[in-house]
């Protein structure tokens, strides 16, 4: 078992040799922080995953090339403007962002990742971006992690950050991440960004393998509204300062690292789901005993992205038929006449369906459970032994209000 502890009030700049800043560059009308720089003082290997949307923002296209480099030491992120659907000029602007950060920090532009989040279709205001990057690079510090987490927010209601410590070969290893995401969030990456840093000593190949597998079970298992963005990105940097024996194969060290990575990514994913635009509750859906992992995942994802199911949860209505309906069109292979459905919360657990049919249940207790801020749905397919968990939120009036005037 991995011995891991959550580090309260720690963030990405508490990891050895990582510095960061979060500043206001004037990109947001509100004057709030809108640009961050994350920097490793020493060389680091990087891995990343990107949106599956065919329409990809300029920074995503740039990063898909840069991430191939053996050394990645800087990540620059602006909020308030997505630099998406901006053509040749948008690509030139993304490259200029990387070049500016590289020049400030004495690196090659290929050793820099850049990202943008915000409104689609507008060119970046480079007269503001370039000075902001220079300012952000000049202000990187060992205490800038919290500011960086704030600077990447768009409609998020809170900044998302986590840090953990664990051991490999008797050496203490630290890992920390920040994320943003609230709307346009859907499985297979969403309008979400996450940036993980660690001082683990691991090869680029093993980091890439661990990260991509971890994303499949974390960020790719959340949904807020069923929309997949043009800018989604998750990246991890490892600067090898912990001093553990190099992780270069799938041995015990690798799996210890992977467990910590999974934990960090899942916790950030849950924060994103909880902070869905207008949401009042976090939904966790566990599908048990599918014939294979793919079928269990299909069912879990289908439930959390069902708008009718999400509306029922908002109204604290134990309408289990909507859950049954959503797995029916999921594309999964299962027997509807075997399905059991439960809802669970702090107040208790209730079975609402058995073998695909309804059961008499305590409606008052069911409503009390569904009024809680953290609600669990358990679906037992009784068809195998593979389980999958997905996270989402309810769909509320406020979601429509927020997105009805997003541009204005």
Residues assigned a catalytic role: 191
- 3 state SS for 170-195: CEEEEEEEEEEECCCCCCCCCCEEEE
Token pair of 77 as six digits: 């992120």
3-state secondary structure of 281: coil
Token pair of 78 as six digits: 């602006």
CA distances from 5 to 16, 165, 211, 340 (A): 17, 5, 20, 35
Rounded CA Rg of the chain: 22
CA–CA gap between residue 118 and residue 115 (Å, rounded):
10
Burial (CB < 10 A; 0-12, 13-18, 19+), residue 252, is exposed
Which residue intervals of 78-189 are DSSP H helices?
A: 87-105, 126-138, 145-151
CA–CA gap between residue 86 and residue 112 (Å, rounded):
21
CA–CA gap between residue 240 and residue 93 (Å, rounded):
32
CA–CA gap between residue 212 and residue 204 (Å, rounded):
12
CA 227-233-237 angle, 5° bins: 160
CA–CA gap between residue 97 and residue 113 (Å, rounded):
9
CA–CA gap between residue 84 and residue 248 (Å, rounded):
37
């Amino acid at each position: 078992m991995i011995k891991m502890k959550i580090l309260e009030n720690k963030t990405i700049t508490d990891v050895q040799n990582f510095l960061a800043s979060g500043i206001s560059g004037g990109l947001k009308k509100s004057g709030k922080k809108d640009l961050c720089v994350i920097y490793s003082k020493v060389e680091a290997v990087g891995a990343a995953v990107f949106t599956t949307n065919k329409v990809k923002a300029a920074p995503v296209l740039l990063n898909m090339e840069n991430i191939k480099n053996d050394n990645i030491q800087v990540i620059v992120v602006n909020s308030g403007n997505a630099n998406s659907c901006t053509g040749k000029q948008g690509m030139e602007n993304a490259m200029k962002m990387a070049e500016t950060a590289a020049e400030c920090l004495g690196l090659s532009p290929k050793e820099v990742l850049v990202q943008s989040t915000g409104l689609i279709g507008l060119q970046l205001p480079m007269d503001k971006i370039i000075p902001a990057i220079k300012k952000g690079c000049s202000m990187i510090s060992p205490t800038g992690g919290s500011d960086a987490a704030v600077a990447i927010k768009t409609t998020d209601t809170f900044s998302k950050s986590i840090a953990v410590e664990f051991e490999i070969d008797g050496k203490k290893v630290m890992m920390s991440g920040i994320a943003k995401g609230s709307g346009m969030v859907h499985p297979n990456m969403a309008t979400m960004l996450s940036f993980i840093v660690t001082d683990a000593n691991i090869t680029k190949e093993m980091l890439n393998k661990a990260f991509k597998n971890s994303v499949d079970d974390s960020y790719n298992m959340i949904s807020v509204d069923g929309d997949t963005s043009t800018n989604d990105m998750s990246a991890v940097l490892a600067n090898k300062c912990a001093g553990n024996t190099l992780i270069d194969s799938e041995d015990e060290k690798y799996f210890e690292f992977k467990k910590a990575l999974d934990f960090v990514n899942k916790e950030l994913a849950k924060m994103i789901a909880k902070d869905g635009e207008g949401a009042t509750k976090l939904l966790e859906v566990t599908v048990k005993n599918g014939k294979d992992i793919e079928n269990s995942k299909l069912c879990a994802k289908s439930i959390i992205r069902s708008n009718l199911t999400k509306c029922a949860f908002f109204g604290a209505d134990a309408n289990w038929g909507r859950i049954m309906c959503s797995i029916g069109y999921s594309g999964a292979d299962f027997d509807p006449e075997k399905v059991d459905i439960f809802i669970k919360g702090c107040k208790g657990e209730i079975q609402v369906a058995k073998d695909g049919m309804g059961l008499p249940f305590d409606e008052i207790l069911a409503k009390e459970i569904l009024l809680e801020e953290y609600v669990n749905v358990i679906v037992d397919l009784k068809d195998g032994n593979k389980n999958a968990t997905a996270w989402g939120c309810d769909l509320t009036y406020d979601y429509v209000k927020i997105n009805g005037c997003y541009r204005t």
